[in-house]
Amino acid sequence: MLDSQTIAIVKSTIPAILELGPSLTAHFYDRMFSHNPELKDIFNMSNQRNGHQREALFNAVCAYASNIDNLAALGPAVEKIAQKHTSFAIRPEQYNIVGTHLLASIDEMLHPGEEVLEAWGKAYGVLAGIFVQREEQIYELSEQKPGGWRGTREFVISEITPQSAVIKSFVLTPADGQPVASYRAGQYLALWVDDPSFENKEIRQYSLTRSPNGKNYRLAVRHEQGGTMSSWLHQQKVGTHLRVAPPAGDFFLDVKPETPVTLISAGVGLTPMLAMLHQLAESRHPSTVQWFHAADNGSTHAFAKEVTETGAHLPRFTQHIWYSHPTAQDKEKFNTHGLINLSPLESMLSDPAMQYYLCGPVGFMEAVEQQLQQLGVSHDRIHYEVFGPHKAL
């Protein structure tokens, strides 16, 4: 554990760190990739270019410094990051590389002196140890599961199905024909692709979209304009081989039979919700299950038939669909024209025991969370997943 002097020194640097803002982490990443370009095969370089990863790391650094005397408060954030790290197969020695460049960045931008650098070095060492320990636990659990493995495993794309004008689903079957590990509804799978057309190896996480069957996995991918991995996947055919890390993620359905559930999504954010809906249907969840989804129009609305058919297995299932730009052909496909507005549905959201699961663009989830809180829903009943670097709503 850290001594009181180290804690005091680290906390005293918080104002200077805040003043630097994400320029600190931008400097860190530029420095690290310059000295260790092999790490470009792990990090999503698109998130480097758009600044999302740098902002996420800066927020994490500030949170750690602010809670250095109360590490228990960081538990949820540590779990989220550790789960993501295992999908990248992060190794303990890579923490040494990160630590070296983080301390060097603090030195080069703040020139705080040896005492401060030594304190930050101790603090980083403690945090790295927490991550290494938790990640090893996750690796061991994944490996020990029936059908489980450590690192990556070769899979084959065995089925491709267009689900909308912009989303395709992919079934991945292990090349060795052996069983695959189970997962919790809401978790994701990491795909590793090293294609000659790529500048770097690409690793992406995609939500699993149905209940475990022990034989294969299904995920769905939206084709993002300019997206390296999504563009590549949408060009593939059945028979393509790729490597896959075990299922991971800290966002998953966790409710009792008597708990009412509302699943709220927009666009491709419905993918983890779909797995949750399948799990609820398979257990014949006796309490209320509500499916709220927003899409541009019928052409981009994925899995609509599957949701209706799956929901039919639930005794108390309802759904409400919003289209922001419906076409003339969409008349029977949606309930409300416009952006999602929960106020007219207040009576459906009044149960104090209801749990809410959200996924979609960050702006969408921020708006939904605000509406839920205005309707009296407490923060602890709202659970969400951000695709890409995490951001607090």
> Residue ranges for the binding site for NADP(+)?
267-272
Contacts 24+ apart (CB under 8 A), 109-116: 109/20, 109/23, 109/24, 109/27, 110/13, 110/16, 110/17, 110/20, 112/13, 112/16, 115/9, 116/9, 116/13
Q: Which amino acid is at 32?
A: M
Task: Give the 3-state secondary structure percentages of the chain, helix then strand then coil, rounded to 5.
Answer: 45, 20, 35
Residues comprising the binding site for FAD?
188, 204-207, 386-389
Q: Residue 162 class from Cβ within 10 Å (0-12 exposed, 13-18 middle, 19+ buried)?
A: exposed
Beta bridge pairs of residue 189: 206
Token pair 């359905």 is found at 253
Q: Residue 211 class from Cβ within 10 Å (0-12 exposed, 13-18 middle, 19+ buried)?
A: buried
Residues comprising the binding site?
85, 188, 204-207, 267-272, 386-389
As a whole number of angstroms, the distance between CA 208 and CA 275 comes to: 7
For 102, residues 6+ apart whose C-beta sits below 8 A from its C-beta are 28, 61, 120, 124
Task: Name the catalytic one among 29, 64, 124, 135.
Answer: 135
Task: Name the catalytic one among 95, 139, 217, 384.
Answer: 95
Question: Is the Cβ–Cβ distance between 182 and 171 less than 8 Å?
Answer: no
Question: Is the Cβ–Cβ distance between 263 and 357 less than 8 Å?
Answer: yes
> Does the annotation count 140 as an active-site position?
no
> Does the annotation count 135 as an active-site position?
yes
Residues comprising the binding site for heme b?
85
Using the CB atoms, write b or e for 304-341: b if 16+ within 10 Å.
bebbeebbeebeebebbbbbbebeeebeeebebeeebe
The residues annotated with a catalytic role in the active site are 95, 135
